Structure 1
Amino acid sequence: MSGTKKESHWIPLADLMTVLMVIFLFMSISYMALMEKRQKEQNQIFKDYEESKVALYNELNEAFKNDFAKWNLKLDNDLSIKFTNPQVLFDEGKSDVTPTFQNILREFLPKYLRVVLQDKYKDKIAEIRIEGHTNTKPINKTSDPYIDNMELSQNRARNVLGFLRQQDCFINLETNKKDRLQYWLTANGLSYGRTVDKDFKIAFGGNQPIDNDKSRRVEFRIVTTSEAIINEALKNIEEK
Structure 2
Amino acid sequence: MLATILGADAHDHALIMEQVWRFRHHQFVERLGWEACRRSDDREIDQFDGDEAIHLPLIVDGAVVGYSRLLPTTRPHLLSDVYPHLMDGADWPRGARIFEWTRCISEVSERRISSVPISNILMTGVMEYCLVAGIETLVVETHPKLVNLLVSTGWEVMPLAAPSVLDGSLIVPITARPSRAGLLRHHELYGINGSVLDLERAPCNPFGPAPLVRLPFADELHGSVNYARIAGE
TM-score, normalization by structure 2: 0.27
Structure of higher RCO (CA pairs closer than 8 Å, 6+ residues apart): 1
When you count helix as a share of all residues, which structure comes out higher?
1
Larger Rg: 1
When you count strand as a share of all residues, which structure comes out higher?
2
TM-score, normalization by structure 1: 0.26
